[in-house]
Structure formats: C-alpha cells, structure tokens
Copies of this chain bind each other. A is one copy, B any other.
Amino acid sequence: MKTAKQTKTRSKKAGLPPGTLVHIGEKKAESVRITVIDYDQQNFQESQVANIEDCFPFKATPTVTWINIDGLHDTSIIEKLGKHFDLHPLILEDILHTAQRPKCEDYDNYIFVVIRMLSFGDENEVIKSEQVSLILGANFVISFQEKVGDVFEQIRDRIRNAKGRVRKMGPDYLMYALLDAVVDGYFGILEKLGENIEAMAEELVSEPTQKTLQQIHSLKRQMISLRKSVWPLRELIGGLQRSESSLIKQDTNIYLRDVYDHTIQVIDTVESFRDTVSGMLDIYLSSISNRMNAVMKVLTIIATIFIPLTFIAGIYGMNFKYMPELEWRWGYGLVLIVMMMVVVIMLIYFKRKKWL
C-alpha cells in the first residue's frame, strides 16, 4: 500500500525543527538536472545549467523565466535557491517532503502550488504519483520534480516555436499551462482505468474468481489514490481563481476556470467509475451465490433421482423367505419399469421447477 509507505518515510522526520531541509521520499533521480527557459514575445533562450547559481541572474530580468529542477535529493541546491529567491523555509520543506497533498499557498510576493503528476507504471497496473511544486513569482516560475520526465514537453515546444499565446503572456499563464498539462494527463490515466474496468467487467461475466475480487479492490484503491490527487486540486484552482494576488492577471483567470472545469470532469468520471466498480462487486457476489445454487442443483437432481431407485433395489435385495414378487417370471422386468417411471416423474418435476 502506497499510503503506508509514505507515512513511514514521513515519521522519520518527526521532531526535527520545522524548516529543516531533509529530503523525505524515495530518491528517484540519480543527479539533479536544472533547466532554464527564458522568453518574452521576441526572445527565447533555453539552457541546462550545472550550478544553481547560474539561474540567479534571471531573477532580475523582465523576461519570463522558467526554472525547472528534476531531482530533489540534493538539499543544498534547494537551500541556495530558497535563499536567493527569498522563499519561506516551510515552502522548501514542503518541496522536499514528497507526500504533500495538492495545495496552494499565497505568500506576499509569490504563490506556492503543489500538485501531483500521475503516470502508469511499466506493469500498467499501479498508478505512480510524482509531486510537482510550482512557485509563481513576479516574472518567473520555478518548478520542482522528483525525477526527469514529465508531461510538460508540449509546453516547451509551444514556447520554443511561439505556438499559441504562451509567449505573449506572463508567468501566470505559464503556470496555468503547467497545471493544465498535469490535469490533461489525468484524462490519459482515466482512459487506462476505463479500459481496465471494461476488461474486468467482461472477465466478471465470463469467469469470476477470487482473484477477480482482489482486482476489483485494486481498481478501487487506484481510484481512491486518484481522488486524493484530484479533489484537493479543485479547491486549489478555485483558490487561485479567487485569489486577490496581483500575480494572477484577469486574463489568465478565464483559463484557470477552464482547468477548473476539467478537474470537475475528472472528478465526475472517477465518481462514475466508482459506481461501476461497486456494481461489479454486487455482480461478483451474486454470481458466487448463483454458482453455489448451480452446484446444489446438480447434487439435488442426482440424489433425488437415485436415492429412491436405490431404495427400490434395496427392497428386493432383502432376504425374506416369503417375498412373492421374487418368484414372479417378470418381477425383475416390472421393477425396472417402475424405476424408469420414477426417473421420468422426477425429470418432469425438475422441468417444471426450471432446474433443467
């Protein structure tokens, strides 16, 4: 269970003073990769820097700067960055504790947002969750990811090629685009889940086993984990929309409303998946009952036909001296006929009861 693991790592840090920078969470990346994209409507510049200090000059320029950091285990980088950009120690702590709930915090001169980027693992059975922390400042966005690889590649393309309006707008629009990309990623997850549910539903009808039940519950758990990423997002984006921070322009607000709508759609879909899966549970349980019923019927039919027959055979197996039937010429034949009639009557009875 993922949750158990998260709390496990979480408790390692219990008792340290708040703001202590310890990376809590799996170490998912080998080395830290820092990328800087700097642009305005005319200019564009992209570079990978070796030292975090190389990013600092961009803070002063009027152009929009997007600093992306992949890999969190080197806390000194986070610390230096925090110092230069004047970030609150608790924010740095939250960036490093990668089991945060999605949230949005409004500080005076920047907005801090935590979201969760989801992906299916290689086995395609477990949803993997990666924490993405975003800081929106006056003319920069800083993003922190646990490891290389994300859903932002198309945004980078749009910036590079000046597609769409991203180059014409400010850092708030960039942050919106990042949020939008993450939420769009959820639709892919839902698609996979939907396929799994359909496959499950067919298996359920054709041949349900105890394993099916466990898969249903695994599906349920995946949806719970999805919900945990999505529900707070709704609040988060609603909060951004209502925020009175001057960092978010009126124009961008309309776009945030659009992400909000998508979030609601994701939630709706998850909820209706939940209903479907609950229905599958009912079907599973009732199909177990039905199979028990079928087993019982076979037993009952066999027993009900042969037990009386065996009894009749038993009668004429008795050794009484004076049993007139035994002496009859056609006694044996008559008994066989009687037995046949018993069988026919039974079969008619079962036919009527619709057991056959």
Residues of A within 8 A of B (CB): 1, 3-8, 10-11, 13-20, 88, 90, 93-94, 99-101, 103, 105, 151, 153-155, 158, 163-166, 177, 180-181, 184-185, 187-188, 190-191, 194-195, 197-198, 205, 207, 210, 213-214, 217, 220-221, 224-225, 228, 254-255, 257-258, 261, 264-265, 268-269, 272-273, 275-276, 279, 281-293, 295-300, 302-304, 306-311, 313-323, 325-332, 335, 353-355
Contacts of A225 in B (CB 8 A): 272
Q: Which of B311, B328, B335 contacts A306 (CB 8 A)?
A: B311
Q: Which residues of B contact A103 (CB under 8 A)?
A: 261
Q: Tell me whether A100 and B194 are in contact in the complex, defined as CB-CB below 8 angstroms, given that A276-B221, A289-B285, A289-B292 are known contacts.
A: no
Chain A at the B interface: SS class: helix
Q: Is the CB of A180 within 8 A of B292?
A: no
How many whole Å from A138's CB to the nearest CB in chain B? 20
Rounded to whole Å, the gap between the CB of A163 and the closest CB of chain B is: 6
**CA separation between A335 and B176, bound complex, in Å?**
84
Known: A288-B286, A296-B296. A166 touches B88 (CB 8 A): no
Cα distance, A315 to B312, chains bound together (Å): 9
A299 nearest in chain B by CB position: B300
Q: Which residues of B contact A254 (CB under 8 A)?
A: 88, 90
Bound CA–CA A198/B221 (angstroms): 14
Q: Identify 12 new A-B residue pairs, CB closer than 8 A, beyond the known A88-B254, A93-B258.
A: A1-B197, A3-B269, A10-B187, A11-B190, A14-B188, A17-B158, A213-B282, A288-B290, A302-B308, A303-B307, A319-B326, A321-B328
Measured between beta carbons, the chain B residues less than 8 angstroms from A18 are 164, 177, 180, 255, 258
Residues A332 and B322 in contact, CB atoms below 8 Å apart = yes
Q: Which residues of B contact A325 (CB under 8 A)?
A: 320
Find A191's partner among B4, B188, B257 (CB 8 Å cutoff): B4
